[in-house]
Chains A and B, each alone.
Chain A
Amino acid sequence: MPLLLPMSELLLILVSAILVNNFVLVQFLGLCPFMGVSKKVETAIGLSLATTFVLTLASICSYLVQHYILEPFDIEFLRTISFILVIAVVVQFTEMVVNKTSPMLYRVLGIFLPLITTNCIVLGVALLNANRSEYTFIQASVNGFAAGLGFSLVLVLFAAMRERIAIADVPKPFQGAAIGMLTAGLMSLAFMGFSGLIKL
C-alpha cells in the first residue's frame, strides 16, 4: 500500500466512518436511540450532539488508557471493564453538562441520556480503535468524532422524515413503529450504496 499523506488518511477515516461504514445503517450499532429519540428533530439534534461529545471524549480517554495503562503493565484483559468505566464517567459528565446548559433537553431526553453508556457505538469505536493498533492518537480521536458525525447525520435525517410521516396519510396497519422500521430499512439500503465510494 503506498504511503498516504496524513491529512488524506484522516479524510479517509472521516468518509469511511460517516458514509461508507456508517455505524448505524451499515454496521447496525446504536439502533436503540436511533428508533427511540427520532420523533422530533430538536430532540434528535440534542441527543446526537451529546453522543458525538461522548464518542470523541470516550475514544480519546480509552486510547490513553489503552496505550499508557493497559499495554505498559500488560493488563490488556482489563480492556472491556476499563473502557466501560471510562464511558460511564464520560456519559455522567455529559449528563451534568446537558442539565446545566438545557434542562428542558435533559428532561426530554429522559432515560436515553444515561443509556448512551450502553450505546454499542461508543464501546464499539473504543474497541475498534484498540484493535487497530496502528492508529495514532489523532487518528483514533478523529475516528471517534467521525462516528459521532455519522450517527448524528442519520439520526437527524430519520427524525426529519418521521416528523413528516407523522402527519402523512399512512395506512392503519403501518402506522407508528412499522413505517419507521420500513423507512430505516430503505435508508440503510441507500447508505449501503456508498460501499464502492473509496477504492484502495
Chain B
Amino acid sequence: MSTWPIHPLRGGVHPPQRKTLSNQQPIQRAPLPKQLIVPLLQHLGSPTDAHVGVGDHVLKGQLIAESANLISAPVHAPSSGTVSFIGPQPYPHTSGQLMDAIVIDTDGLDMWCSLEPLTDFHTASASVLLDKIRQAGISGLGGAGFPTVIKLSPAANQPIKTLIINGTECEPYITADDVLMREKAAQLMIGIDILVRILQPENVLIAIEDNKPEAIAAVRSALDARSYHVVVLPTIYPSGGERQLIQILTGQEVPSAKLPAQLGILCQNVGTIVAVHDAVVEGKPLISRITTLTGEALHNPMNVECLIGTPAIDLLEFAGLQKNNMSRLIAGGPMMGFTLPALDVPVIKTSNCLLAASAAELPAPPPAMPCIRCGDCAEVCPANLLPQQLHFYALGEDHTQLQAHNLFDCIECGACAYVCPSSIPLVQYYRSAKADIREQANKLAKAEHAKERFEFRQERLRLEEERKEAERKARAERLAKTKAEQAKKAAQAQDANANNPSGASDDELKRLKITASMAQVALRKAQKQLDTHGTAELQAQVEQLRISAEQAKQALDAATPSTTSAAAVTKKPAKPELGAAEQALKKAKIDVAMKRAALRKAERNEANAETLAALQAELSLAEQGLDKLNQTEEVGV
C-alpha cells in the first residue's frame, strides 16, 4: 500500500494522553435509564418543535420533534415509553441554563417502531440516501453537531474530490472513536461506501493517529478490496481539527471565511459515518452514541453505548462514580470541554466524553500573571495566529485589531493556554471577545433595520400629507367651481322664479334638502356626544341643533311641491340604536377605564397628594356607578 504524503502540523502540543484509562475494555452497554431527557436542540441550527404531547406513548426510534427549517435535524425517541413532560430541562451547557426538552418515562420494553431499512444502497440514488440520512436526524458526532445531510449536499459546481474520514481523536482522555473503530470497522466501511455513493470523490482518506494501533489494524483489515487510503498520523494535539486535518493531509489551507467544501474537501467523523450506516442499512435513526466515561473519580472508566437523553448521573454511577473524589465534571475533554454545573444533565448527540476529574488530576489553575511576551503561544497555535496580540487587543477591547488579526479563525483548541507560563486563560478572552463582536454586529444590524423602518415611515407620512393636501386643494377648487355655477344658475333661477312664484326650482329644492339632512346628522352626532359626556354645554348645543333642524325641515316642506314625506330626507338608514341600558353600561365602563388610567399616570408622574386624592375619589365614584348598573342589569334582565 502506498503511503499518502502528509504535511506535519504547524504548532501543536503534546499533553499527556491518558487514553489507557478507558480503552482497555470493549464497549459496554449502558443500562436503560428510568427517564430520558431529550432536548429539542442538539445540533447547530434551528431548534425542533415537539410533535408529541404529554401522555403520548412513543416507540423506540419514533420521530418526536422536527423543524421546518432546513438547517436542523429531527429528534427521535431513544426508547419506548410515555412522554411525561415537555418544557425546560437541564442541558449540558456551562451556564446551567435550561433548554426545552421532551422527557420520556421508559417502560423497560425498549420496543422499536417499524423500521424501513434500504435493501440495497448500491442501487439507490443519492437523493434517496440523503433523505434517509436526514430523516434519521444525523448531525456531526465529532463535537460541532452540524446537520450531516447539509454537509453531504454540496453545491453542484463544487463537487467533493477528497473525502476525509476523521478518526484522529486527538484530545486526551477521549477514546470513543478508538473503540468504535476497533469494534465497528465493518459498519464504518459500509458507511463510507454509502458516502462514496453520494459524493463520488476521487480520494478517500481515513486518518487515524498512531496511538491507536488496534484501531488501525481493525480498519485496515476491514478494507478488503476498497481503494481507500488509511493514513496514520503522528500523535499531536490538535491534529483532529477539521482545518488542521485538511492541512496535514492535503497541504491546502482552508481560507479564512470559506468552507472546506469550496476546496472540494469534506470531513466526517467516524461516529457520524457509523450512524449513517445504521440509518441506511438498518433503518435506525440516531438514538444512541458511544460516550467515554473516564477520570480518576470513576472506579471503572469505560466506553458505553448509551441512549441519547440518558442522565449523566446514571452513566457515571454505572462507571462507579466516587462523588467525594470528584472535583469537576467535564463534558468533553480537558482541552476543549466545559465544566458541567450539575450531574443531572442528559447526554446529547454531541456528548463524546464525560470526564469525572479528581482534584489531583485536574487541579485548579493558578491565578493569571501578566503576559511576559515569551511567544510560546504563537509557536503552538495550529491556526497560525498571534495569541499574544489577540490577548492584548482583547484586554483593550480593540475590535478592529482583533478582526485584523483573524480572531474568528481561532478554533479555541486551548494549546496556547496550555503552554502559557503565566497561566493566562487565553481561550476565555477570545470567546468573550468573539461574543462581544457578534453582539455588536447584531446591534448594528438591528439599528440599521430600525433606521430603515423609521425613514420609510417618515416617507409614508409625508406622502399621506401630500395626498391629503392635494385632495383638499382639489375639493376647494371643485367647491369654488360649483359655487360659481350655482351663482350663475341662481341668477338664471331668479329670472325663472319671477315667472314661477309657487314652488322652488329643482336646485333650490336640492339645497334645502341638503341643509335639512345635514342638520339632522349634526343633531344625531351631538346627541351621541351628550350620551357619553353629559355636560351642560352639550345640552345647550343639542337644543340649538334641534331647533335649526326643525327650521330646515319646515323650509323644505314648504318648498316641496309633491307630497314626498320628510322621512325621505334622511338618506342614511338609522343605525340600530342600542338600548338605553346597554348604552349607559358601555359609557360607565369606558369612564372607569379612563379614570383609572388617569390616576395611574398621575402616580407615575408623582403628582401631589391632593391631585391623587381627587383622582382617587373620581375613580371610586365611577366604579360605584358601574357596580350599580351591573347590579340592575343582573336583576332587571
A binding-site residues for B, Cβ under 8 Å: 164, 166-169
Contacts and interface: CB of A to CB of B under 8 A. Distances in A.
A167 B398 contact: yes
A169 B372 CA distance: 11
B128 interface: no
Contacts of A168: 392
B396 A166 contact: yes
B576 interface: no
A168 B392 CA distance: 8
Contacts of A169: 370
> Which residue of A164, A166, A167 has the most chain B CB atoms within 10 A of its CB atom?
A167
A169 B396 CA distance: 11
Interface string B389-401: 0001101101000
Contacts of A167: 392-393, 395-396, 398
A167 B394 CA distance: 10
Nearest to A42: B400
A163 to B, nearest CB: 8
A81 B40 CA distance: 81
9 contacts: A164-B392, A166-B396, A167-B392, A167-B393, A167-B395, A167-B396, A167-B398, A168-B392, A169-B370
Contacts of B392: 164, 167-168
A168 B391 CA distance: 11
B325 to A, nearest CB: 39
A96 to B, nearest CB: 29
A164 B392 CA distance: 8
Nearest to A166: B396
Nearest to A167: B396
A167 B389 CA distance: 11
A111 B136 CA distance: 68
Contacts of B398: 167
Nearest to A168: B392
A169 B398 CA distance: 16
Given A167-B392, A167-B396, 5 more contacts: A164-B392, A167-B393, A167-B398, A168-B392, A169-B370
Q: How large is the interface on B (under 10, 10 to 19, 20 to 34, 35 or more residues)?
A: under 10
B506 to A, nearest CB: 71
B629 to A, nearest CB: 67
Interface string B565-588: 000000000000000000000000
A164 B370 CA distance: 15
Contacts of B393: 167
B369 to A, nearest CB: 11
A166 B392 CA distance: 10
B237 to A, nearest CB: 30
B399 to A, nearest CB: 13
A154 B252 CA distance: 40
A164 B373 CA distance: 13
A139 to B, nearest CB: 40
A167 B392 CA distance: 7
Query: Which 6 pairs between the two chains have the least Cβ-Cβ distance?
Result: A167-B396, A169-B370, A167-B395, A167-B392, A166-B396, A164-B392
Nearest to B392: A167
B365 to A, nearest CB: 20
Nearest to B370: A169
A167 B402 CA distance: 13
Contacts of B395: 167
Contacts of A166: 396
A191 to B, nearest CB: 24
A167 B390 CA distance: 12
Interface in B225-241: none
A171 to B, nearest CB: 12
B479 to A, nearest CB: 52
A164 B371 CA distance: 14
Nearest to B401: A163
B138 to A, nearest CB: 46
A164 B395 CA distance: 11
A168 B395 CA distance: 9
Contacts of B396: 166-167
Nearest to B393: A167
A168 B396 CA distance: 8
Nearest to B400: A42
Interface string B194-221: 0000000000000000000000000000
A81 to B, nearest CB: 46
A164 B391 CA distance: 12
A167 B395 CA distance: 7
Interface in B361-393: 370, 392-393
B518 to A, nearest CB: 61
A175 to B, nearest CB: 14
A156 to B, nearest CB: 16
Contacts of A164: 392
A168 B393 CA distance: 10
Nearest to B398: A167
A168 to B, nearest CB: 7
Nearest to B395: A167
B430 to A, nearest CB: 16
A69 to B, nearest CB: 49
A44 to B, nearest CB: 16
Nearest to A164: B392
Nearest to B371: A169
Contacts of B370: 169
A164 B393 CA distance: 9
A49 B316 CA distance: 67
A44 B392 CA distance: 21
A160 B392 CA distance: 14
A168 B373 CA distance: 12
A176 to B, nearest CB: 16
A179 B395 CA distance: 19
A136 B402 CA distance: 49
Interface in B116-169: none
Nearest to B389: A164
B372 to A, nearest CB: 11
B214 to A, nearest CB: 51
A139 B392 CA distance: 45
Nearest to B394: A167
B405 to A, nearest CB: 13
A159 B363 CA distance: 43
A162 to B, nearest CB: 12
A40 B492 CA distance: 87
B370 to A, nearest CB: 5
B402 to A, nearest CB: 12
A20 to B, nearest CB: 31
A107 to B, nearest CB: 19
